[in-house]
A and B are shown apart, each in its own frame.
Chain A
């Protein structure tokens, strides 16, 4: 009786310990990528902790040309990179860039955002070119995202928090980071169209509760007759005076529960 109780107690301890961390699991093939959500999705837990961080950068201007650099939030979730001369800085001694997470979270009907929405501002505009923005010309923006939720396909830009949102493209240069070139600042977020199908790279499944329910029912349905057979067999062995039926020499499983 002691052993099943110990296992049950350990299961209880695990359930409590796993419940205390989102999404409620101990391991997994791809450990959860921490992400500071402004509005945590259900899978990240209702109280996932750390607030999303802002970012601030002062860019030097030398002889009317802004320096190269990267502005990023303190948690590294949003990064703006730009080469020398990206800003119209004539007559200025510096350019100030700010990145702030937006709250409340914009929730456009035709898009799903995988990241927070960030407002990127600078006190000087980008140098405008007639050409389409190319690699980090005049700047590129990158968003890190969590593997708890579906991966974003694109980065979206809007002049206001309520849109309209414009797709500025997106590519994944490194795992869990999506990036795009931009010639404007404003509101940015990474996401995907609401009607998009799962790319298969990272996604979510609502089948988990069903799978767990099936496992539990399966264990109960199969376990009860198995336990009855075991008990009946043990009783028969006891009647025959055979007392060494439990622990075989080849790693036999003990019957559980053993009372």
Chain B
């Protein structure tokens, strides 16, 4: 089984996608248990982060070169992600302070899992188009249990934007920064 996963990129990508979805759906269901939201997020984030084991940082889009540009790109992505809420409402719910660190953890873990590991695995299996579409579909499916159906179009659009950035700039730092800032703001 291990040998098959190491030699067949498509099988490896499917296994990684299945694992990530399983973690995300379990986390979403566990979060509905009273008092279990924070532990579920922390455990889920940890389980997502485990998926990066064995993947070299460059393949995930991580690196320190041109760090200023990467961070600036993250600010730009955060601005886009938050713009509709800022314009539409003028005010927005803020997360409790105790959730801030949890928000950072799950944002980073989700980016590492979806736009990092899953994207890289799909890229190996079928190239950039499959990586962009596949990671976006998985990202949207992962939110299906935790979000009302009406939100899933916005979820998918955000996933597509972040995946396109990952492809165009070969960068995961900006999606991480953008995702963290956006989750901290809302």
- Which chain A residues have a beta carbon within 8 Å of chain B's beta carbons? 3-4, 6-7, 10-11, 13-32, 34, 42-43, 45, 147-149, 174-175, 200-206, 208-209, 211-213, 215-216, 218-219, 222-223, 226, 230, 247-256
List residues of chain B with CB under 8 Å of any chain A CB. 34, 37, 41, 57-63, 65-66, 68-70, 72-73, 75-76, 78-97, 99, 102-103, 106, 143, 146-148, 150-151, 153-158, 160-161, 164-165, 167-174, 179, 181-183, 185-186
Which residues of chain B are near A254, meaning CB under 8 Å? Answer: 168-171
In the complex with contacts A25-B92, A200-B97, A226-B72, A251-B61 CB distance below 8 A: yes
The 4 lowest CB-CB distance pairs between A and B, nearest first, are: A24-B84, A251-B58, A251-B63, A3-B168
Q: Which residues of B contact A248 (CB under 8 A)?
A: 63, 65
| Residues of A contacting B81 in the complex (Cβ-Cβ under 8 angstroms) | 14, 18, 25-26
Shortest distance in angstroms between B37's beta carbon and chain A's nearest beta carbon?
8
A-B Cβ contacts below 8 A, count: 230
Chain A residues with CB below 8 A from B167, complex form:
3
A27:B158 contact, CB within 8 angstroms: yes
Does the CB pair B60–A251 fall under 8 Å?
Answer: yes
B68 contact set on A, CB distance < 8 A = 222, 226
Interface of B is mostly: helix
B161 partner residues in chain A, CB cutoff 8 A: 7, 10-11, 13-14
Contact B186–A25 (Cβ < 8 Å): yes
Establish whether residues B69 and A29, one from each chain, have CB atoms under 8 Å apart when the complex forms. Answer: no
* 15 further interface pairs, Cβ-Cβ under 8 Å (given A175-B37, A254-B171): A7-B161, A14-B80, A14-B158, A16-B157, A18-B85, A19-B84, A19-B88, A27-B179, A30-B95, A34-B148, A208-B89, A215-B76, A226-B72, A253-B69, A255-B66
B64 CB, min distance to chain A CBs, angstroms: 8
CA distance A205 to B82 in the complex (A): 13
Cross-interface CB contact of B154 among A25, A216, A249, cutoff 8 Å: A25
Choose from B70, B147, B155, B183 the contact partner of A253 (Cβ within 8 Å).
B70
Minimum Cβ distance to chain A for residue B177 (Å): 11
With CB as the reference atom, state the residue of chain A lying closest to B159.
A26
**B89–chain A nearest beta-carbon distance, Å:** 4
Most chain B CB neighbours (cut-off 10 Å) among A21, A23, A215: A215
Q: Report B-chain residues with C-beta under 8 Å of the C-beta of A13.
A: 157, 160-161
Which residues of A have CB within 8 Å of B148? Answer: 31-32, 34
- Report how far A255 CA is from B88 CA in the complex, Å: 32
B125 to chain A, nearest CB (A): 19
A-B contact pairs, 28 of them (CB 8 A): A3-B169, A10-B157, A14-B81, A15-B84, A18-B158, A21-B150, A21-B153, A23-B93, A24-B84, A26-B81, A29-B95, A29-B103, A32-B93, A202-B93, A203-B93, A208-B91, A215-B181, A219-B76, A223-B76, A226-B72, A248-B65, A251-B57, A253-B65, A253-B169, A253-B170, A255-B66, A256-B69, A256-B73
